[in-house]
Amino acid sequence: MTRIGIIGLLHESNTFIAQPTTIENFQQHVIVTGEKIREQHEQTHHEIGGFFEGLHRYSEETANTQPLTAVPIFLARTLPSGPLTASTFEQLVTQMLDELKEAGQLDGILVAPHGATVCETFPDADGEWLARLRNQVGPDVPIIGTLDLHTNLSPKMIQSCNAFVAYRTNPHLDQRARGIEAARLMARTLAGEIRPTMAAVFPPLAINIERQATDEDDLKPLYDFADEQLSESSILSNSILLGFPYSDVHEMGSAVLVVTNNNEQLATTSARELASVMWERRENFVGNMIDIDSALDQCATLEGPICLLDMGDNVGGGSSADGTFLAHAIHQREIDLAFVCLFDPESVKQAELAGVNAAVRLSVGGKSDDLHGPPLELDCVVQSLHDGRFSESEPRHGGFSTFDQGPTAIVKAQTGLTVMLTSRRMVPFSLHQLFSCDLDPTDFHILVAKGVNAPIAAYGPICRNIIRVNTAGSTCADMLALEYTHRRRPMFPFEPDTNWSSDEPTSVALGYQTS
């Protein structure tokens, strides 16, 4: 048997959040080992599910050769939030490497880092754990993995692995497909068909989160060029890393990588070409900022449902999920048929005590910090109470299909604003969040979704209009308003006169090659 290990450690770390991420956050979501990984994730839309399917597919296609056996080892994941504490990171990585040791001899390892994980002691946390993994398995075991396209790519990550494959869609609807692609690269490597050779290039560029939807006009020409590169038979894969602007680390920014079949020169040249196209289009990536009043003025003239994307309280970027700036403005204007979801376990308990159909005065949202607006005082009626669990069968951003936002209350204010109150932070990736609470999203004129691009997969099909709103908060879309300490300098757009050429030798990092 050819045995291939499967390992995942995924966290998107927002360093503008003071509250750190602890081991309890992972325990609340996902820490699993061994065969439980297969049981829980083989059928998901996540890349971990793709790893299993890709290895199985290749084994079926090559039935006369040695079969490939997936060996699930370790998987940990939690919602985006603040940087990991040092003890949390060490506990996770120690458990990962201990489980790896117990797994026995492996011929290859498929890995799923996020690419934007930050730890108190290791700003490049993904590079750190991948380097430790490489050190433990030695020089002869290929390591091939997937990356979130919000990766802040580092040379250390590249130098620890033989190949990476990044998501090509935002919202992330292709995670399983990228897992299958990575698994196929691994299978072909072990069969001796290919020898992955990877090069990455790092232009001094940060792409605004507001411009990171991959099917919109700003990015589409860049992805079209990347697709054209794949017509070269020796190019096995290429990836565009848009970057995660809410990690104030040296690695923050955009990058590209190319994987060829044993051709370092082609990998380097092609990566430089792709990075040059990215750099030439940099003015398209600055972002368009619409304030709250302008957005609501537009809503008065547009057909609904309208999705207002609350960029400053982007839960998928680590924000608090209880931001109230939009809720305050909607309430003050007495806009009827509007919906917002707020993380507020205290108000959920008050609603439960009051009971369904009870009139109650609540102070909702604005409790996590002082970045996302003050609590909103509401005279409201408790419409319904729910356990907060729901499922999603379609591919959605994040790749998972089961969700738990804890005990949930639906309340309606006298002004017409409907508020979903949750006991856990919940990313707005699925309309079943509403369906499960007996709400029909098409009944509303305005639906506030706390995100930038990720909610569009769910809300796009039912909303006639979508407006990204530049609200304040820990995920404020205006990068120039954020105070960076550790980012590279100069960097566009912070230093608009930044000059760069893809020919600069320091811009390239080469991937690891097994002997």
Give 64's pLDDT tier (boundaries 50, 70, 90): low
Q: Report how far residue 420's alpha carbon sits from residue 415's, in angstroms, rounded to the nearest whole number.
A: 15
Q: Is the peptide bond before 493 cis (omega within 30 degrees of 0)?
A: yes
For residues 266 and 378, state if they share a domain.
Answer: no
pLDDT in tens, 141-176: 999 999 999 999 999 999 999 999 999 999 999 999
Comparing CA positions, the residue from 307, 343, 310 lying closest to residue 461 is: 307
Question: Does residue 493 fall inside a structural domain?
Answer: no
For residues 171 and 319, state if they share a domain.
Answer: no
pLDDT in tens, 189-198: 999 999 999 9
Q: Which two tokens stand for residue 135?
A: 């050190």
Cα-based distances in Å from 35 to 43, 73, 100, 160, 512: 13, 8, 13, 26, 29
| Start-to-end C-alpha separation, the chain | 21
Name the residue type at position 351: A
Question: Does residue 12 fall inside a structural domain?
Answer: yes
Angle of CA points 320, 40, 406, to nearest 5°: 35
For residues 363 and 327, state if they share a domain.
Answer: yes
Q: Report how far residue 318's alpha carbon sits from residue 314's, in angstroms, rounded to the nearest whole number.
A: 7
For residues 60 and 122, state if they share a domain.
Answer: yes
Residue 428: the pLDDT is: 95
Q: Report how far residue 374's alpha carbon sits from residue 50's, in angstroms, rounded to the nearest whole number.
A: 43
pLDDT in tens, 319-335: 999 999 999 999 999 99
For residues 176 and 231, state if they share a domain.
Answer: yes
Question: Does residue 491 fall inside a structural domain?
Answer: no
Give 505's pLDDT tier (boundaries 50, 70, 90): confident
Q: 266 is in which domain, residue-wise?
A: 2-285+504-510
**pTM given for the model:** 0.96
Mean pLDDT of 487-510: 93
For residues 271 and 302, state if they share a domain.
Answer: no
For residues 205 and 161, state if they share a domain.
Answer: yes
For residues 272 and 145, state if they share a domain.
Answer: yes
For residues 184 and 151, state if they share a domain.
Answer: yes
Q: Report how far residue 163's alpha carbon sits from residue 178's, in angstroms, rounded to the nearest whole number.
A: 12
For residues 306 and 407, state if they share a domain.
Answer: yes
Q: Is the peptide bond before 171 cis (omega within 30 degrees of 0)?
A: yes
Give 40's pLDDT tier (boundaries 50, 70, 90): very high
Q: Report how far residue 361's alpha carbon sits from residue 381's, in angstroms, rounded to the nearest whole number.
A: 8
For residues 96 and 223, state if they share a domain.
Answer: yes
Question: Does residue 484 fall inside a structural domain?
Answer: no
Q: Report how far residue 174's alpha carbon sits from residue 158's, in angstroms, rounded to the nearest whole number.
A: 22
The half-sphere exposure of 512 on its side-chain side, counting CA atoms within 13 A, is 24
For residues 267 and 414, state if they share a domain.
Answer: no
Q: How many domains does the chain have?
A: 2
Mean pLDDT of 4-23: 96
- Kindly state the helix (H) or strand (E) to which residue 446 belongs, with its residue range: strand 446-449
Residues sharing a CB contact under 8 Å with residue 401, sequence separation 6 or more, in sequence order: 44, 45, 391, 392, 393
CB atoms under 10 Å from CB of 433, counted, come to 24
Q: Report how far residue 101's alpha carbon sits from residue 486's, in angstroms, rounded to the nearest whole number.
A: 36
Question: Does residue 486 fall inside a structural domain?
Answer: no
